[in-house]
């Protein structure tokens, strides 16, 4: 079976469980994902299915993608993603993956793109302590020494330095599925998931 579904992060809210305890949850809307292409080991070298999701008008699809959808005979979608499967022969173009497949799933792995922070220094990016705040000190938020002088006369790879922070692919594992709303295509998982509101996330069965 296809063990994943793609959707969008709507935001966070809270629910009460059977013990009247407040549970923070993230709401993910996952509209039915349509199989747009089946990839087999004979034709592509690996077993996978291509899932399409997100409504889009046909006139807004460019010609190459329009030809791809026309060849498959499915409605155009805004996004395409691949999911590896054990046997692609079990699926055919036009099949759909819905949140109902997660009705009996207890925990999931959620993958998303973390919120971008732009160019940041070592204190925010790596948690460096920094220097004194006053008393004439001239060392506040600088990284400090990054290498040696004569030997090896270079900066080693991997040294923690200022740079771009965020927009990384992050997976939060073993999140508890609190509720499935098949009518509204919603998955509610306990805790936070990576990414900003409206970001694309992949929900995979743990």
DSSP 31: P
Main-chain phi, psi angles of 174, to 5 degrees: 55, 45
pLDDT of residue 186: 97
Kindly write down the DSSP assignment for every residue of 88-153, as one continuous string. GGG--TT-EE-GGGGTT--EEEEEEEPPP-EEE-HHHHH------SSTT---SS-----S-SSSS-
The set of residues, in sequence order, having a beta carbon less than 8 Å from that of 135 and lying 6+ positions away, is: none
From CA 22, how far away is CA 120, in angstroms rounded? 35
Return mean pLDDT, the chain: 94
**Average pLDDT of span 170-182:** 96
Main-chain phi, psi angles of 85, to 5 degrees: -135, 160
pTM for the model: 0.88
Domain residue ranges in the chain? 117-165
For residue 100, which of 189, 184, 206 has the smallest C-alpha distance? 184
Percent of the chain with pLDDT over 90: 91
pLDDT in tens, 190-202: 999 999 999 999 9
pLDDT in tens, 89-123: 899 999 999 999 999 999 999 999 999 999 999 99
Percent of the chain with pLDDT over 70: 100
Residue 181 three-state SS: strand
From CA 131, how far away is CA 121, in angstroms rounded? 13
pLDDT of residue 149: 85
């Amino acid at each position: 079976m296809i063990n994943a579904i793609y959707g969008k992060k709507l935001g966070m809210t809270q629910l009460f469980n059977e013990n009247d305890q407040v549970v923070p949850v993230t709401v993910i809307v996952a509209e039915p994902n349509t199989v747009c292409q089946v990839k087999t080991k004979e034709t592509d070298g690996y077993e996978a299915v291509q899932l399409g999701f997100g409504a889009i008008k046909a006139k807004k699809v460019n010609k190459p993608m329009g030809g791809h959808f026309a060849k498959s005979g499915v409605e155009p979608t805004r996004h395409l993603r691949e999911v590896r499967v054990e046997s692609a022969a079990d699926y055919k173009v036009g099949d759909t993956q819905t949140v109902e497949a997660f009705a009996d799933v207890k925990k999931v792995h959620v993958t998303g793109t973390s919120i971008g922070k732009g160019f940041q220094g070592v204190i925010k990016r790596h948690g460096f302590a920094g220097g004194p705040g006053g008393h004439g000190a001239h060392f506040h938020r600088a990284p400090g020494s990054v290498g040696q002088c004569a030997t090896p006369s270079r900066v080693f790879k991997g040294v923690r330095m200022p740079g771009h922070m965020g927009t990384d692919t992050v997976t939060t594992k073993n999140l508890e599925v609190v509720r499935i709303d098949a009518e509204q295509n919603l998955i509610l998982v306990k805790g936070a998931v990576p990414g900003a509101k409206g970001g694309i996330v992949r929900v995979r069965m743990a």
